[in-house]
Amino acid sequence: MVSATLTEVAKFLKPGIKTITIDQMAETFIRDNGGVPSFKGYHGFPYTLCISVNEVVVHGFPGNYELKDGDIISVDCGFYKNSYHGDSAYTFAIGNVKPEVLQLLKVTKESVFRGVAQAKEHNRVGDISFAVENYTSRENPYGVVRELVGHGVGKELHEDPQVPNNGKRGDGKKLKEGMVLAIEPMINLGTREVYTLDDGWTVVTKDKKPSAHFEHTTAVRRNAGEPLSSFAVIEAAEIANPELNSSYYNFNVDTTAL
pLDDT value, residue 251: 59
Q: What are phi and psi of 29, to 5 degrees?
A: -65, -45
pTM of the model: 0.96
Q: What is the pLDDT of residues 161-204, one digit of tens each?
A: 999 999 999 999 999 999 999 999 999 999 999 999 999 999 99
Residue 115 has pLDDT above 90, yes or no: yes
pLDDT value, residue 248: 85
Q: What is the pLDDT of residues 126-164, one digit of tens each?
A: 999 999 999 999 999 999 999 999 999 999 999 999 999
% of the chain beyond a pLDDT of 70:
97
pLDDT value, residue 255: 52
Q: Cα-atom radius of gyration of the chain, to the nearest Å?
A: 17
Residue 82 CB contacts under 8 Å (≥ 6 apart), including other chains = none
* Order of all β-strands in the sheet with 159-163: 159-163, 150-152, 180-183, 216-219, 226-227
pLDDT value, residue 13: 98
2-249 architecture in CATH? Alpha-Beta Complex (3.90)
CA distance 98 to 43: 36
